[in-house]
Chains A and B, each alone.
Chain A
Amino acid sequence: MAVQLAETAPPPAKASPSSSVMAHAFKDAVITGLIALGLFTPLIGFETVIIDGALGLDYRPGTLAVMVGIIFVGRLLLNLTVWSPNRKPSVRSGPTIFDRAGTTIGPAVKPLLLAFAVGFPFIAAFAMGGMNESRYLIDLGILILTYVMLGWGLNIVVGLAGLLDLGYVAFYAVGAYTYALLATSAPINDFFAGFLGETFWANWAFWICLPMAGVFAGMWGMMLGFPVLRLRGDYLAIVTLAFGEIIRLVLINWVDFTGGGAGIASIPRATFFGVPFTAGENGFAALFGLQFNPMHRIIFLYFVILALALITAFATVRLRRLPVGRAWEALREDEIACRSLGINTTNVKLSAFATGAMFGGFAGCFFAVRAGFVSPESFTFDISAMILAIVVLGGMGSQIGVAVAAAVMIGGMEMLRNLGFLNQIFGGDFDPSLYRMLIFGFAMVAIMVWKPRGLVSTRAPTIFLKERKAVSGDHVKEGHG
């Protein structure tokens, strides 16, 4: 409430002489610089290095000076421009520029983005001058789409139902291991071989495992969700985090069943609905009279993940119009009001949790078939944090925002790696991917402080009287009560 009051009633601008403004800004920047010096001295000023087996210290006064200088100059510039007392505060009412971009350009851009996503393998092949040369770009596309799908799946839980889930990677893992175990099935085979005969169990194909992965992940979502969904928001976050870690630790330590830290290798590859991508007579290429090319499989995988992601998006859009989807959004806005109106909050939360988990399971199954190898290493907390960061940056609840955030954060980092001039600035061994999680963490804090609802933060109501009005995220208060 206080924030809104401050926005609608601007404080009277003080007519102070510019010299004192300058002096004040300078003093403030000096203080900030000194604090930054204190903060950075231990960790940037010194580096612990291991020389001949013993720990020694390296001194980096140059880097320290540059960092403190950046903070000082940045603060000074901010003091003189954005935070200057002479600057008239702009009175904001209604959607901001990002919101307007989201609501006006958004609908127009969506078909274009979709067309681009569908045509991407062909564009990539054309641009790179051949299918084999476009392998890198299509792999990158698959990676981005996997994160888009995971982001959309988590968006149901975090963005629509307002439940903070820090263990989303657990469902991704359940999906991946479902396919890995059912398709290679050495432990399951051994289990049944004893009393049902050696030939009882056959390996399952990808297209049967895909729905199974979703079902299993959804069931795990229900099992984990049922006891914890009574908890308040931040407790729920911590408990889901604990569950995510427990599942990972079990995967590492239950060596007989999951292969332990070594994981499960040589998982069967995807087939074109039963037709394998091989050079033989029954292969995909022979069937369609094409020349055999290993890229066919990669391009097919691209379309599989695109279809899965689109199914996620479509299901979310449709669910939002159903009573259960409306209940999710109502729950996000005010839980106590929901309960007063007779909504069974536990069931509603559980349905959101399980639906999100199911899509995580689909994505996990796809991950297993693409990589051909699963191990607990792929399902650390970092992945959960990354997916959450994508959802938060995209604006919780906004589909297009999540897609853009995934493309920028995953694809952008990957692109940075190939920019030669960065190496010339920062030295030869500069690897931007090391800074990826650093930037993710910083961006999460910055977005929360600057625009807590994400960059695209409008709330387009799914139900309305006569006319659909977009509401800026700043005017919606959620989670109070």
Chain B
Amino acid sequence: MDVFIQQLINGLTLGSIYGLIAIGYTMVFGIIGMVNFAHGDVFMVSSFIALICFLLVTTVLGITSIFLALAIVLVVAMFFTSLTNWAIERVAYRPLRGSFRLAPMISAIGMSIFLANFVQVSQGPRNKPVPPMVTDVIVLMDNNGYQVTLAWKQVIIMVVTAVLLMGFWYLVQKTSLGRAQRAVEQDRKMAALLGINVDHTISLTFVIGAALAAVAGVMYLMYYGVAHFADGFVPGVKAFTAAVLGGIGSLPGAVLGGLLIGLIEVFWSAYFSIEYKDVAAFSILAITLIFMPQGLLGRPEVEKV
């Protein structure tokens, strides 16, 4: 029971991070019908930006309050990651909108390889460890020496995720930007005829997706305390799995899928084998796509000629 509760806490934390990344996949897929393969690497880039910003804030500016530092890092990382993703969309995807179907996908794969290797070349191939930022824990239960703990950083991750998701939900459901997004999602040509700037809306979708990925990147850096150039690939695929599991195109689905994938991964590692935890996640992706391509909360896809 103790182990179960501890793993539940860990799983929800990890799931929040996956959920934040998965939103980027699901939004881009919803609006232009493309799997943004580079999104995992955008997340990785954001954790590097966060790392550099954190070092600048703590060593050069000399800010000692960890929460102030984290807040600054979050804002800076969101800005620069959004700029990066905006530029990627502008350069690598927008020219391909009228092209054949696999073209954006191949371009995205190229961009993913480019980003990972760009970081490898510019920042070096080694792991970059940061000193632990938030170390305090709350002991929930103490059962003969086995402590069930809730770390403050886990609380931060879950609270920040929940708050951002609420803000984001408001943005998509209630504002004119959100309406424009949903309109473009349904019918791009008609939306353009009704005076919506389609290019602008799609760009903003990438910006929002990147901002959420940056939040995930900062949280990941705080949680694991390490950044590595190849760390975008596996979390990216898992977040994509989350998006597919929840129903691609559906925003609550992405969050639900993220939490589920986080829980499955953590429980699998705890109860079965830690070596095969990635195999479990990849198998879920294949199984979902084969047997339930519309996911948990998605709409079935109708093929039109």
Which residue in A42, A162, A239, A444 is a CB contact (below 8 Å) of B80? A42
The answer to whether A234 and B96 touch (CB under 8 A), given A38-B83, A443-B110, is no
The 8 A CB mask of B170-183 against A (1 = contact, 0 = none) is: 00000000000000
Contacts of B129 in A (CB 8 A): 50, 55
Contacts of A230 in B (CB 8 A): 290
Which residue in B99, B118, B237, B273 is a CB contact (below 8 Å) of A245? B237
How many Å lie between the Cα of A54 and that of B55 in the bound state? 11
Interchain nearest-CB distance for A154 vs B (Å): 13
Chain B: interface residue count, which band? 35 or more
Which residue in A228, A237, A444, A480 is a CB contact (below 8 Å) of B290? A228
The 8 A CB mask of A364-390 against B (1 = contact, 0 = none) is: 000000000000000001100100110
Interchain nearest-CB distance for A364 vs B (Å): 21
Which residue in B55, B80, B128, B282 is a CB contact (below 8 Å) of A242? B282
Contacts of B115 in A (CB 8 A): 441
B186 contacts the other chain (Cβ, under 8 Å)?
no
B114 contacts the other chain (Cβ, under 8 Å)?
yes
Find out whether the CB atom of B102 lies under 8 angstroms from the CB atom of A233. yes
Chain B binding surface, main DSSP class: helix
Contacts of B116 in A (CB 8 A): 437, 441
Number of interface residues of A (CB under 8 A): 66
Which residue in A3, A46, A48, A237 is a CB contact (below 8 Å) of B105? A237
How many Å lie between the Cα of A251 and that of B128 in the bound state? 28
> Which of B53, B240, B275, B293: most chain A CB closer than 10 A?
B275
Contacts of A77 in B (CB 8 A): none
Find out whether the CB atom of A44 lies under 8 angstroms from the CB atom of B240. no
**A-B CB contacts (within 8 Å), total count:** 195
The answer to whether A231 and B100 touch (CB under 8 A), given A242-B237, A438-B118, is no
Interchain nearest-CB distance for A235 vs B (Å): 5
How many Å lie between the Cα of A448 and that of B275 in the bound state? 37
Interface residues of B in 55-101 (CB under 8 A from A): 55-56, 59-60, 80, 83-84, 87, 91-92, 95-96, 98-101
The 8 A CB mask of A426-470 against B (1 = contact, 0 = none) is: 000000001101101111110011001000000000000000000
Interchain nearest-CB distance for B49 vs A (Å): 5
Interchain nearest-CB distance for B70 vs A (Å): 17
Partner-A contacts on B (CB < 8 A):
34-35, 45, 48-49, 51-53, 55-56, 59-60, 80, 83-84, 87, 91-92, 95-96, 98-107, 109-124, 126, 128-131, 227, 233, 237, 240, 273, 275-276, 278-279, 282-283, 285-286, 289-290, 293, 303, 305
Give 13 A-B pairs besides A249-B282, A444-B106 with Cβ atoms closer than 8 angstroms. A43-B49, A49-B124, A57-B52, A227-B286, A227-B290, A228-B290, A235-B293, A238-B35, A243-B282, A336-B305, A448-B106, A448-B107, A479-B100
